[in-house]
Each structure stands twice: as structure tokens, then as C-alpha cells.
Structure 1
Amino acid sequence: MLGIMRKYQQSILIKLVFGIIVLSFIGTIFLVWGRGSDKAGGPVGYAAKVDGTKISLDEFQKTYYRTRGIYEQIYGRSLTPELEKTMGIKKMAVDTLVDAVLIRKAAKDMGMKVSKDEVAAEIAKIPAFQKNGAFDFQQYQQTLKMNRMTPEQFEDAQQEELLIQKTRNKIKDQATVSDQEILQAFKKQNDKLDLQYVSFSPAEVKGEVKLTDKDLEGYLQEHQNEFKTPEQISIAYAVVSPAQFAAKASVTPEEAQGYYQKNIDRYQGKGGILPFAEVKDQATADALKAKAAKEAYEKAADAANKFRTQGDIDAAAAAVGAKVEKTGLFTLQAPPAQLAGEKDLVPRAFALKQNELGSPVETPKGIYLVKVTERKPAAVPPLAQIKGAVEQKVREVKASELAKKKAEEALTQLAKGGANLKETGNFGYAATGVVPNLGTSQELMEAAFTLSNAAPVAKQPFKIGDRWYAVKLKSRIDAPTADLAKQSGTIKQSLLPKKQQEALDTWLKGLRAKAKIEINPALVD
């Protein structure tokens, strides 16, 4: 039994394979799939190579989709392609797989091993294999079978994962927190600072900005999308109304009852579904309306197909007794008043080519026949036409750059003393980053508590809102250290996780530096 039980670690990786424990143990989700292979990897290529070990595209796809799935669960919505690219989901997946290969190789060199008993103990902890809080062998087998995994496959994967986790933990356990670090953290949490500062905003220095035509031309060339006019089209269209077919249409009682049965959820009463006898008239009217709409669409489709080659919307409209209307040029975001509310029609029109007669588009107002009569592509107007808008934008950018430059120059003056400086008043460290009289800046808050009498001036200016600040330490009130000994244990525990992660990151960085790693560029571009 222990052989079959081998490896049931708390790992989202395996649990995501199962699809039933997807929210558990996020930290170790991907390690199993980073196993890699020394074989050629088949004709489909590979995701990465690590010192000759190939990571297959299949491994990458599994890790990628599960990484994305976790973030979608965290955010409670699907990730857009843009957000996914910004977050670097694909790179996360590749890096996880590469790290797993490197750690396994390092574990072998370090002599790390995992016993069968360790694996069995981890398997027994997994809720999916338990009944009434205890491991159940039959439940274990059934769960694996449902997910098309053999016990050997699962156990081997769990053993690999546990080996990786033990190796990571061994590196993290080497991390220490020094007495000096504890003292610095104590002082950061308990000291009080008073800062002096000077600030500059773009609005205050905008008048000093001098622009040339070369500045405007250069900015326009590099930021064309900011000034590009959207694509425009004009269309000719005709609306076929189902009402014109309703007068000639009729439905039999059988057709009415059939419509009722297919759309029974529409006929709800306080006590539930109303019987057909009570809603017969309404169902008959609804069936007649649906029949007329279907006939109108079919007639419109026949006309569109007949005259599509010629692009003759006039003939198509005449065939269904409709009148052709025309629009001027309009954009996707700002359709003309006559098409207001037609959310389905307008995107379909923009998908057509010029002079193309499209397929019918059904909307609440009727069935549309549409032809694009003119298409004006998106374009960047000449500078002469938009000079005012470009100048305004460039002036804002240059003013912000000038404000930052003045703040940088002010830092040099602050080192010599400085005059007419404002003060924050005494304040303590706040995790929120709120600095009195300045605003919220976590970066400034952290930097402020590294300042000392020996080095009182910040190394760089800080931007809060649209203003740039140059800051200098005026005074620091040291907290009494009488409570340091009492708090040192708690402080050490709060600092240790970060130190452990830093140790692990440094170690992994070293492994990467020594390894020959080749990433398939198509996966991360």
C-alpha cells in the first residue's frame, strides 16, 4: 500500500491535474510538470532546454494554463490578452519549469532523498483521498482512475515534487537574521522622523519650457497612436420589418403549442409554468411573430445572396420591399444617430470590405441589409493639422521632465544646506506609505527610514501625484531600546520569510548563471 501511496503532497500542481483541489497549496503547483526529458522531445519541438534536458511544449502548455487559471481565480475574471502579457504569464510558466529542472539536478548533487514513508505520509494528507478525515485506499484508486493517472505516475510525480520542496526548504533554512537587521527593523518601526523638502510641479515650470518644430515632429513620430484618427466608414442600408410579413402569415394550433413547448420558460406564473390553455392566445401571437421574423430573415438572406456579387443593395432592397438609406462617414465608437442603439449592426458593418454587401443582421428594429460605400482608414494627420494638440502634449511631457530635473538639482543644494524648505513634522513608519504634508508614496516611506545624520539627503527625487519632491532628514528621534530584547523574537520571525526567499532567489540565480538555458522565443515574445 505504501508503494501505491507514494507522494501525496499538498500541491496545487497535482490537484489542478485532478481539477478538484484547484485552490489548495498554490506555492508548489507547477513543480511536477517541470520534470523535463533527456530525449529529443518529438517533432513538435520544445519549450526550453536546460543543460541538455528538454522541457516539452506539452509540459509548458499544462503549466501555462494552470498558471493563468490561478490568476483568474484570484482576480475573479478572465485575463485579457493585454493583461496576461503585462503580467508575463507565459514567462512565469517557463521560469517555473526551468527552475524545477535546475532544482532536481541540484538535489541530486546535494544527496537529497525522499523515503517511501515520507511520500506515503504526504499522500495521506490529501483530502481528495480521504473519507471521514482518514486516507482511504479505494478512494485513492478511484480518484486517480477518474483523472486517467496510474498510481505509479502519481506517486513518481509526488516524489519528485517532495524532493524539490525539501531541497528548497534546505536552502531557505540556511537564511539567518542578524542582530543588526533586527535593530534596524526595530528602529524603523519605532523611530520618529522629520523631513525637510522642496517640490516642483509641471504646472509651475511649464512657462519655462521652450519647444521647437523638431520637438513636435519627433514626439509625433514616436507617439503616432496618440493622434491617429480612427477608421471611418459610410454605409447604405435597408431595414426589412417582420411586421410586413406578419399580415400574410398564420400559425396552426399545433405550431402554437410547439412554440409554447420550446419556449416554455417564457410563460411563468406565480405558481410556476402556466398551462398552454391559459396562455394559448399569447403563445399563438408569439409564434406568429417568430414565424414572420424567420420569413423576413430568409427573404433578406435570399436577396443578399442573389445580389452580393454585384454589391447591388438597391436591387436587394427592392426584392424585399425595403427602402435604402445612407449615412455619412462615422467611427465604430460614434455611429450616426439613425443607427443609435444598434450594437450588433455597427461592428458587423465595420467587418465588411468597401462595396461589399453583407449577410443580413437581425436586431430588435428589424433585419438589416448593409453595404459599405466608403472606408477611410485610420491615419495620423499631418502635424500642421494637429499642431495645437501635439504642442500641448509635448509641453506637458517636457514640463514633467523639467520638474524632475529641478528636484534632482535641489538634492545637490540640500546636501549643502538649502533654504526656504518645508517640513513634514514628526511621523512614524506607516505601511500605507502616507507621509504628512506630502501624500502617499511607499517608495519614499521606505527610503526615508534609511536616512541618517551621516547621509541625510535622499539619493533620488520622488514623484507623488504630479509633483516631484527632493527630501532631506532634518531630525530623527531614536526610540528607546529597552523593549528591543522583548520584541527581537517577533521581529526576527517577521523578517525571516523575506530573508529565506532572498536566499532561495540568490541560490536559483546562481544555478541559472551556471546552466546553459535555451528558451523557445516563440513562447515569450
Structure 2
Amino acid sequence: MLDLIRKKQKTVIVKIVFWVIIAAFVGTIFLVWGKGSEGDGAAGTTAAATVNGDKIGFQEYQAAYRNLYELYQNVYREQFTPALEKQLQLDQQALNTLIDQTLLLQEGNRLGIEVSKTELVDSIAKISAFQENGVFNRDRYLQVLAYQRLSADDFEAMQENQLLVDKVRTQLQAGVTVSDQDVEEEFRTQNEKVNLAFVKLTPALFESQVKIEEAPLAAFFAEEREAFRIPETVALRYLQFEPDRYRDEVTYNDEEIEKFYRRHLDRFAVEEQVKASHILIKLAKDADDKTRNKKRELAEKILAEARAGKDFAELARKYSDDPGTAAKGGDLGYFPRGAMVPDFEAAAFILKPGEFSDIIETPFGLHIIRSEGYIEAGIKPLAEVIDKVKTGLAEEKIRQIALEKAMDAYNINRKNGNLEAAAKTNDLGLKETGFFSREEAIDGLGNAPEISAAAFTLKEGELARPVVLPQGVILFAVKERKESRLPELAEVRGKVEQAFRREQSKVLARQAAEEILSALGEGKKLSDLARRHNLTVEETGLFARSYGEFVPRIGNAADLAEAAFQLTKENPVAPAVYEISGSDIVATLKARQDADPADLDAARREELKKAVLTRRQEEAVKEKVNSLREVAEITIAPTLQSSFEKE
């Protein structure tokens, strides 16, 4: 029988569990968020946030963020970029989720809601990751928890908290209802479509109409002169100590080889890896029970054949839905931890070579895994990597020699700044750069922020300490400096004319757009007005409200997307000029496709009712959480608060 922790303490949050359905190590039930505020070290004892006195530790927050990151990474795959991560504000999402869960947990305690021992045991026994042949297996349970570095006590406390939160959510959702009228309105919202005719007025179309006259240009320059300020610039003289020049000076002995090897053991480390083959039976997340049962029956049949001795590679070629591996007999090759989705990885690393997994479900479908081999983590012996060690040691030494020679030259000549003498001593050519600003690349050196930063603090002729760049060690001095100043029009006339033309083009484009909008209001046709302005009438094609802020062929245009569904045959003109990505858009209703609830059959009506109910139930929970937040005492660590505010 499981040893259970009964949650009696209200001052310490041991574990928090996020309720989103994802493929985590226990299947599709929940995602574990951290290890609470009782972790080891400063990170564990310092609060990322405090909610009514209950601490959310930094370890817990970091684990929450990491798991959320992996969730989105698995969903978006190659489309998950740093820009998308920033846009999604995953760090704030993670902390807000922990705060919301803590509030719901506290509310459950306040209401006196309890989780029985039977409920806890049953919930854990139903988790497929802990089962063998559909039955809970204690050894497997402990093995999976060990893989996740969780104790049974911690996991059970966490699961008990989750069940309590689920009970609070269920209670909050109990009074939510959906009427037939609500269903029909949802049907209209989802299926009503519009097609807009529009013209796009880009400033570039009007550039040829802009006349550059001296008086307006001078007035524009006088007003915007600061924008054309010429920045401070410097020019350098420098010596480049290239490491390859000193390769013939390199010597080393066995002791140095041994030390380099030990100093860089991480370079010769071998990750723990498993070699596996698999058979994938694709299964959509939203598959109905009939489809799900049919796919599982097929997977069970294949697994039985494999365990009975049939060639796994042949079974993979025959049944697998993975286009990348089916033709290769399901072979995935060797892969380390972190390369596969969590459920798949957990199963693969538990198996011994030659063993088959049970049926594993991931976001891709149902998998049968066969372990083909295993490599234990370790360090390659010196004898095996001796050539790499010698090469690495030689590279290290030539870079060190280059740096030492540059430092010697600096120490000898820093008082007089005599680069000529340093060049002669080291048989190097003295080089010069052109003038460059703080933000510009340097002629011959490229982007070198460390050199730029030092250069603008030096006096003319003063030597800077050597700077290490990929191409060598650079010893330099400022040859000449030019202070920042406001230019005369003649010096930057080309840039000023370009900016003036760009600005006036925008004005002309907006004037034309306003004229078209006004004429449409007077009953003129968009096609005639477009022809008059040498524009092309385009159409969005039919689109629904489900597109959100996106309008086809135009882009993200929240105001236009909202206005589009207010347009009618009697009032077909969008009420404003919309600036989208630098262009002005004027739009009218081309066609409207209304949705008739009479087209709803019973199955679709029931499906919509469930969808509306689910959404409103979540809204009910969110509303309660928001009300709890309003009266709660919530503090966030200053370091986190500061990072959030910068986003």
C-alpha cells in the first residue's frame, strides 16, 4: 500500500501541479511544477513569490518555467523561436500559474474540502505510466519516480494537492449552464463569414509625387536636425598578433598533455544514450473513443506479434506511421536524454537491450519501443582521444603565446604609445582603420564591441590593453577622434531628402485613403475610386471570427477584424482608414455568408454545447481566481518583477 502524506499544513506548499493536459512522464493527466519551497540551498529557500504567506520557491518557479518551455517546444517544434518565447511571456505564465494554483489550493483548505485516501490511491493507480498490462505496478511506479528524481512521498503529496484543486474547480464549475440560444449564437460566431474588398495604399506608391523644394526641405531639416546628428567617431592604428604565426614555437610534454586532458574532461564526455527502434500508430489528440479503441487494438496486436518473436523491423515497415523511420525498420539510432518527448524518453531509458515497452502514448500517437542498445555516460580514455588533446593543447598554446607577445608590447610601450617600435620588435605590419562610430563595424576587424568600448575612452595616441578577437590579439591606439556634432544640410542632404520623401509619401497616402473613404460614404464604387488612384482592388476571401485579429491578405488588424463583422449590405463601408504594417487600408463588404442554426444537426449541437460549457467553466474558475487575487497578499521577488517589467 502507498505511504500517503495527508496535507494538514496550510503554511507550506510542498508541490504545485499544473492542470493542462500534456504528454508528461505520467501520461496526459498533469504537468508537475517544481519541488516547492523546501528545496536545498538558497534557490530553494528564497521565495520567487509569496501568496498569503505561502512561499513559492525559486526552484519551484524554475521547474515550472522549464516544464512550460518544454511543453511549447514540443508543440511548436522548429517554429519555437526565442522571439516566440518572449512573445508568449513564458516566465510570467509560469509564475502566474503557480500563484493561481496556490490560491485554489488555499480556497479548498478554507472550504474544508478533503481528499480521501481511497481517492488518492485510485488516481495514482489509473496513471498509465505506472501500469504494466493495464494494472498498477509498484516497482514500475518507484522506477518512474526515481527517473524523475521524485520521492513517493513528494509525488503523493503533489497528487493529493492536485486532486484538491480539481475538486475546487469542479465546485466552481457546477453551476455553469448553456442554453440552446447560447449554442446557436456560438454556431453563428464560428460559422458566419465575410469577404472584404479593399485597397492598400503604400507610401511607396506616392514617392514619385513628392516634390523636393528647398524651403520645405530646409524647414523639415531644421525640425528634425537632431535625428541626423553625426556621431562621435575615432580611427585606430593597431597590431594584430595572429596565433598561427607562433605555431613553430609550440612545445609540450606528457605532463602538459595529461593536465590539458583532465582540465577539459567535458570535451571528452560521452552522454548516456540509448539506441531504439519504434513503431508509431498515429492518433489525434481529439480522436473519438471509437477511433482511439481501434488504434489501440492495432497497437496491442503489433506488440503481441513482436513479443511472440516476429521481426520488429518488418513489423515497423508494415505498420509504422512514422515516415522518417518506417522504411528503416523503425530505427531511431542512438539518442541522449532530452532528445525525445518525456513519455517516450522515460520508456526508452528504462528498457534493457532487446526488451519491448508497453504501448506509450505521446502527442504523436501510440508507440511500441524496442531497445537496441545502451551507452553508459562516461569519459573517453586519454589514449582514445590523444590526437584531439594534442591539437587542443597546441591551439591553446599558440593563443597564449600571441597574448603574451601582445602584453609584452603593451607593457614596454604603453607610456609612449610607440606602436612603430612594437611593430618592428614583433615583425608585424602596422595597420589603420577608417573612422567608425560606437555602433559601426570596424574596418579590418568587424564587430568588436570590446575594442569599440575602449576606443571611445582613450586619448589620442594612448595604447589600450590588448583585446582577444577570433582573428588574433589586437594592440591598438586612437589615431584621431572627431567629436559628435549637428551637420549642415549639405553634408547629409541625401539622407534628409530620403526621409523627407518618405514622410511626405505617408501624408499623401493617408490623404488619398481619406478621400476614398469619404467618396465611398457618398455612394461611389470602390472599383472606380481605385482606378482613379491607380490602385488594385483586392479581396480577403471569406474568413470567420475564429481568425481572431488576422485578416487574410492584410495581416494582423484587430480593429478591422472587429469592424468587418458589423458590416451589412445597407452599411458596407468599414468606418475608418486602417494603418497596417505601414500601409493604409480602406475596405468594404464584398460578401457575407450568414450561419443558419437550422443547419445544426444533433451531434454538432451537442459538440458545440460541450465546447461552450467547457469555455464558460474555465471562465468561472478564472473569475474566482481573479477575485481571490484581488484580496490576496501577493509579493513577487524584486528580481523577477524587474525582469517582467522589461518585457
Contact 2:16 2:102 (C-alpha < 8 Å) held by counterparts: no
Residue 492 (structure 1) aligned with residue 597 (structure 2) = no
**Residue pairs, 1:424-463, within 5 angstroms:** 428-429=542-543, 439=554, 443=558, 444=560, 447-452=563-568, 458=574, 460-463=576-579
| CA distance in structure 1 between the aligned counterparts of 2:593 and 2:573, rounded to whole angstroms | 17
| CA distance in structure 2 between the aligned counterparts of 1:510 and 1:326, rounded to whole angstroms | 67
Contact 1:175 1:500 (C-alpha < 8 Å) held by counterparts: yes
Residue 183 (structure 1) aligned with residue 184 (structure 2) = yes
| CA distance in structure 1 between the aligned counterparts of 2:396 and 2:2, rounded to whole angstroms | 67
Q: Which amino acid aligns with 2:97?
A: T
Contact 2:236 2:478 (C-alpha < 8 Å) held by counterparts: yes
Correspondence for 1:373? 478
Distance 1:288 1:79, change over 3 A: closer
**Residue pairs, 1:114-513, within 5 angstroms:** 114-126=115-127, 129-130=130-131, 134-141=135-142, 144=145, 149-172=150-173, 174-187=175-188, 193=194, 195=196, 200-203=201-204, 234-239=236-241, 242=244, 246=248, 293=398, 297=402, 300=405, 303-304=408-409, 306-307=411-412, 309-310=414-415, 312-330=418-436, 334-336=441-443, 338-339=444-445, 346=448, 349-350=451-452, 352-353=454-455, 354=458, 355-359=462-466, 361=468, 367-374=472-479, 382=487, 384=489, 386=492, 389=495, 392-393=498-499, 396=502, 400=506, 418-422=523-527, 428-429=542-543, 439=554, 443=558, 444=560, 447-452=563-568, 458=574, 460-464=576-580, 466-473=582-589, 476=592, 478=594, 481-486=597-602, 487-513=604-630
Q: Which amino acid aligns with 1:429?
A: F
Contact 1:219 1:394 (C-alpha < 8 Å) held by counterparts: no
Distance 1:404 1:153, change over 3 A: farther
Q: Which amino acid aligns with 1:419?
A: K
Distance 1:69 1:382, change over 3 A: farther
**Cα distance, 1:80 vs structure 2:** 8.8
Correspondence for 1:63? 64
**Cα distance, 1:405 vs structure 2:** 8.1
Q: Which amino acid aligns with 1:448?
A: A
Correspondence for 1:3? 3
**Cα distance, 1:505 vs structure 2:** 3.1
Contact 2:43 2:58 (C-alpha < 8 Å) held by counterparts: no
**Cα distance, 1:186 vs structure 2:** 3.6
| CA distance in structure 2 between the aligned counterparts of 1:306 and 1:82, rounded to whole angstroms | 45
Q: Which amino acid aligns with 1:449?
A: F
Contact 1:6 1:119 (C-alpha < 8 Å) held by counterparts: no
Distance 1:470 1:339, change over 3 A: closer
Alignment deviations for residues 27-59 of structure 1 (CA, whole Å, 9 cap, x no partner): 7453875x89xxxx9998644343444444454
| CA distance in structure 1 between the aligned counterparts of 2:563 and 2:110, rounded to whole angstroms | 41
Correspondence for 1:523? 640
Structure 2 gap segments, 5+ residues each: 8-14, 268-386, 528-536
Contact 2:33 2:61 (C-alpha < 8 Å) held by counterparts: no
Q: Which amino acid aligns with 1:137?
A: R
Contact 1:457 1:471 (C-alpha < 8 Å) held by counterparts: yes
Contact 1:240 1:322 (C-alpha < 8 Å) held by counterparts: no
Contact 1:307 1:313 (C-alpha < 8 Å) held by counterparts: no
Q: What is the root-mean-square deviation in Å for CA atoms of aligned residues?
A: 5.7
Q: Give the stretch that moved more between structures: 22-31 or 95-104.
A: 22-31
Correspondence for 1:30? 33
Distance 1:61 1:295, change over 3 A: closer
Distance 1:217 1:129, change over 3 A: farther
Alignment deviations for residues 214-245 of structure 1 (CA, whole Å, 9 cap, x no partner): 87677677xx6x97859755231144575577
Structure 1 gap segments, 5+ residues each: 266-281
Distance 1:498 1:214, change over 3 A: farther
| CA distance in structure 1 between the aligned counterparts of 2:525 and 2:517, rounded to whole angstroms | 14
Distance 1:504 1:31, change over 3 A: farther
| CA distance in structure 1 between the aligned counterparts of 2:622 and 2:514, rounded to whole angstroms | 33
Give the secondary-structure state (helix, strand or coil) at the position aligned to 1:3: coil
Q: Which amino acid aligns with 1:179?
A: D
**Cα distance, 1:451 vs structure 2:** 3.5
Correspondence for 1:271? none
| CA distance in structure 1 between the aligned counterparts of 2:391 and 2:495, rounded to whole angstroms | 55
Give the secondary-structure state (helix, strand or coil) at the position aligned to 1:419: coil
| CA distance in structure 1 between the aligned counterparts of 2:627 and 2:393, rounded to whole angstroms | 75
**Cα distance, 1:173 vs structure 2:** 5.7
**Cα distance, 1:157 vs structure 2:** 2.0
Q: TM-score, normalised by structure 2?
A: 0.56
| CA distance in structure 2 between the aligned counterparts of 1:373 and 1:23, rounded to whole angstroms | 63
Q: Which amino acid aligns with 2:428?
A: A
Give the secondary-structure state (helix, strand or coil) at the position aligned to 1:323: coil
Correspondence for 2:49? 48
**Cα distance, 1:76 vs structure 2:** 5.3
| CA distance in structure 2 between the aligned counterparts of 1:213 and 1:21, rounded to whole angstroms | 65
Alignment deviations for residues 439-484 of structure 1 (CA, whole Å, 9 cap, x no partner): 4557445642343468755455444554433445476454555422
Residue 104 (structure 1) aligned with residue 98 (structure 2) = no
| CA distance in structure 1 between the aligned counterparts of 2:430 and 2:47, rounded to whole angstroms | 57
Contact 2:239 2:475 (C-alpha < 8 Å) held by counterparts: yes
**Cα distance, 1:102 vs structure 2:** 1.9
**Cα distance, 1:304 vs structure 2:** 4.0
Distance 1:375 1:136, change over 3 A: farther
Give the secondary-structure state (helix, strand or coil) at the position aligned to 2:101: helix
**Cα distance, 1:371 vs structure 2:** 1.5
Q: Which amino acid aligns with 1:349?
A: I
Distance 1:395 1:92, change over 3 A: farther
| CA distance in structure 1 between the aligned counterparts of 2:146 and 2:135, rounded to whole angstroms | 20
Q: Percent identity?
A: 27
| CA distance in structure 2 between the aligned counterparts of 1:374 and 1:425, rounded to whole angstroms | 60
Correspondence for 2:92? 91
| CA distance in structure 1 between the aligned counterparts of 2:409 and 2:630, rounded to whole angstroms | 64
Alignment deviations for residues 112-163 of structure 1 (CA, whole Å, 9 cap, x no partner): 4322233223333446545566433234445545666443232212211232
| CA distance in structure 2 between the aligned counterparts of 1:446 and 1:227, rounded to whole angstroms | 43
Distance 1:326 1:92, change over 3 A: same
Distance 1:300 1:95, change over 3 A: same
Give the secondary-structure state (helix, strand or coil) at the position aligned to 2:599: helix
Q: Which amino acid aligns with 2:564?
A: A
Distance 1:43 1:198, change over 3 A: closer
Q: TM-score, normalised by structure 1?
A: 0.66
| CA distance in structure 2 between the aligned counterparts of 1:303 and 1:22, rounded to whole angstroms | 58
Distance 1:76 1:425, change over 3 A: closer
Give the secondary-structure state (helix, strand or coil) at the position aligned to 2:97: helix
